[in-house]
Amino acid sequence: MADSPAAGPAPPRRHDSREIVLFGGVYGAVLASSMVAALTQYGHTSAEVRGYDAAWVLVTACASALAHGYAHYIAERVPHRGWDLLRALRNEWPLVAAVLPTVFLLAGARWKWWPAKGVEFVAFVLNIMILFVLGLITARWSARRWPGAVLVGLGDALLGVIVVVANALIK
């Protein structure tokens, strides 16, 4: 029996790189949309505020990545080697990478590369597109045909739309 004490503890579950990238990408895109929605709730759209928003999105993504990586580390409930915690944290890089386009948009508004007012809508559209592409890629990797893959991508993009609609209803 695999669960008997003689068998010893199970090794920690290794997540494959596709799973890590897709999970982190989806999590990051939804997090970025949620953060932009929360930070723009009161209509502050000055360039200075957009710089503040960019910093908060990045800090929140890093904190979320650390918390999620640490949660994976402790949730496995198996003896760990010295570097396992660092590996668990390293595996969260896609979450941070997925918020970088939003951080770039907000920082660009701070640096007056484009207008600060309305940049949140561009960020929402960008994150919805990221969700669509990740859903499409996932479906294609799962050997789905193009029509089915497009539907999966649209379903994932719908998640982003729900965040935007929820923000509009909350305001």
pLDDT, tens digit, 9 for 90 and up, residues 135-170 = 999 899 889 999 999 999 999 999 888 877 887 677
H/E/C letters for each residue in the chain? Answer: CCCCHHHCCCCCCCCCHHHHHHHHHHHHHHHHHHHHHHHCCCCCCCHHHHHHHHHHHHHHHHHHHHHHHHHHHHHCCCCCCCCHHHHHHHCCHHHHHHHHHHHHHHHHHHCCCCCCCCHHHHHHHHHHHHHHHHHHHHHHHCCCCHHHHHHHHHHHHHHHHHHHHHHHHHC
Of 40-44, 46-50, 107-111, give the range with the top mean pLDDT.
107-111
The pLDDT assigned to 15 comes to 59
Region at 59 (left for phi over 0; alpha for psi -120 to 50; beta for the rest): alpha
pLDDT band, residue 134 (cuts 50/70/90): very high
User: Can you give the pTM of this predicted structure?
Assistant: 0.82
77-98 pLDDT, tens digit each: 667 676 777 777 888 899 999 9
pLDDT score for 6: 53
Contacts of residue 141, Cβ cutoff 8 Å, sequence gap at least 6: 18
Q: Are 40 and 53 in contact (CB under 8 A)?
A: yes
Confidence at 1, pLDDT banded by 50, 70, 90: very low
Sequence spans of domains, the chain? 17-37+44-170
